Amino acid sequence: MKNNYKVNSKLVLLFVIACTSFGFSQSTDQVQIKKLYDTALTEGKGYDWLNYLSNQIGGRLSGSIQAQQAVNYTKSQLDSLGVDKVWLQPVMVPKWVRGTPEFAYFETSPGATTNVSICALGGSVPTPPRGIKANIIEVEGIEQLAILGKEKIEGKIVFFNKPMDATQIDTFTAYSNCVDQRYAGALEASKYGAFGVIVRSMNLRLDDYPHTGSMGYGDQVESERIPAAAISTNAAELLSTSLKLNPEIKFFFKQNCKQFNDVESYNVIAEIKGSTTPEEVIVVGGHLDSWDLGDGSHDDGAGCVQSMEVLNLFKKTGYKPKRTIRVVLFMNEENGLRGGNKYAEVAATNNEKHIFALESDSGGFTPRGFTFDSSDKDFEKVLEWKSLFEPYLIHSFKKGFSGADIGPLKKEGLVLAGLRPDSQRYFDHHHAENDTFEHVNRRELQLGAASMASLIYLVDTYGF
């Protein structure tokens, strides 16, 4: 009986010690995370960095002067943080130029025309110098091309008018369900003899802003390629209604875009070396390039400055990471993913050991949580941290897509994650003229940066 008492006493003591240790760990984490949020909201630099990127530099299309200015500026700001290393990683990127503003109208009868807002899709060929004028045929998706066949499409302009599904609460799901018409519409329509394509903008709101974005021609030779443009949602509605009243409407559009040879650009990289296991690398990043219509504040200036802010917050709060924390500002996500591929290639060549990568490329709106591309075991580990974020209203921890630029790093044992802000307003601005600094809220932006820093702190502290 006495022996059992002693054994039970030891078990109780061990249990108390374990509980005490766990409580201390939780308290330490809570204190550090609160410090990160407090500092981000009162001393953060991200909003000021974004102000400069947006209003002093502007749209940063790969291969442009503005993209190089953004490289120089972000490198200088990262240098000023006093981190251990800052460097540029060369990468060859495509250079596509929009040229003079596009022009379009539809004609209901000779001389009766209505101007509509369009913009060339990124990577498109130009129209002939005098533009294209032809009858127009409306479809709701690429799959309808085969149903209509060459007889009804040849010699016409194809109008892809599949809208984003407003019933989807996750607007990125709505986007992914119809973006194929933007990317591959011209390639597929050309097989049926179309002269050109007009694509409804990827936007849930009805407005007059056409939204650009990348498109591709596959392995088509130059002579087989047809021009492609996006049309604003208001104009798409008007055109669709007009076609129902008069199927013989003619459409005219003119664009002067041009593809040049690849040019050299750079990924911008900075890191704080780990204090105990520096060979283990944690990456956080966004893409520095943007489309040219707006200034790329949400897509993805926000993600870049939030990633830079992670290093700033660690420095300001005095946190010394165990593992190496590396910021990567990727070049050319929008029309090529060259920066993401180059970073992964160099990392593999150098045999670097990445354990975690986090990307922010969903805008600077209020953070709601994270998505994780990981094994079930690693995801269970992540879920243990969820309660630490609930005081900051970060509730959504789900398995799912992480980010385009960190995708090439994917391999067994590496956990990838993406910051997920509220998505309801994102596609109002995505790839459009109104993706501008005035539509970014400082507090929302900084909350996102603090959330990213907090997650990286936990990964650095506990690993997987």
In tens digits, what is the pLDDT along the chain, a chain of 464 residues? 444 444 455 544 444 444 444 444 568 999 999 999 999 999 999 999 999 999 999 999 999 999 999 999 999 999 999 999 999 999 999 999 999 999 999 999 999 999 999 999 999 999 999 999 999 999 999 999 999 999 999 999 999 999 999 999 999 999 999 999 999 999 999 999 999 999 999 999 999 999 999 999 999 999 999 999 999 999 999 999 999 999 999 999 999 999 999 999 999 999 999 999 999 999 999 999 999 999 999 999 999 999 999 999 999 999 999 999 999 999 999 999 999 999 999 999 999 999 999 999 999 999 999 999 999 999 999 999 999 999 999 999 999 999 999 999 999 899 999 999 999 999 999 999 999 999 999 999 999 999 999 999 999 999 99
Residue 27, pLDDT score: 87
Catalytic residues: 333
Tokens standing for 177? 């369900």
Give strand pairing partners of 91. 265
SS3 113: strand
Which residues lie closer than 8 Å to 266 by C-beta, 6 or more apart? 71, 88, 89, 90, 91, 331
Q: Could you tell me the pTM of the whole model?
A: 0.93
H or E element that contains 51: helix 46-52
> Could you give the dihedral angle defined by the CA atoms of residues 377, 383, 388 and 390, in that order, rounded to the nearest 10 degrees?
160
Please, are residues 157 and 197 in contact by the beta-carbon 8 Å criterion? yes
SS3 239: helix
DSSP letter string, 351-390: T-EEEEEEE--S-SS-EEEEEEES-HHHHHHHHTTHHHHG
Cα 49 to Cα 46, 73, 303, distances in angstroms: 5, 9, 11
State which amino acid sits at residue 198.
I
The total of other beta-carbon atoms located within 10 Å of residue 425's CB is: 17
Residue of 97, 133, 116 lying closest to 256 (CA atoms): 97
Please, are residues 435 and 298 in contact by the beta-carbon 8 Å criterion? yes
Please state the separation of Cα 448 from the chain's center in Å. Answer: 14
Degrees to nearest 5, angle at CA 289 with 81 and 397: 75
- Please tell me the distance from the alpha carbon of residue 110 to that of residue 82, in angstroms, as a whole number: 67
The total of other beta-carbon atoms located within 10 Å of residue 80's CB is: 11
Distance spanning both ends of the chain, measured CA to CA: 43
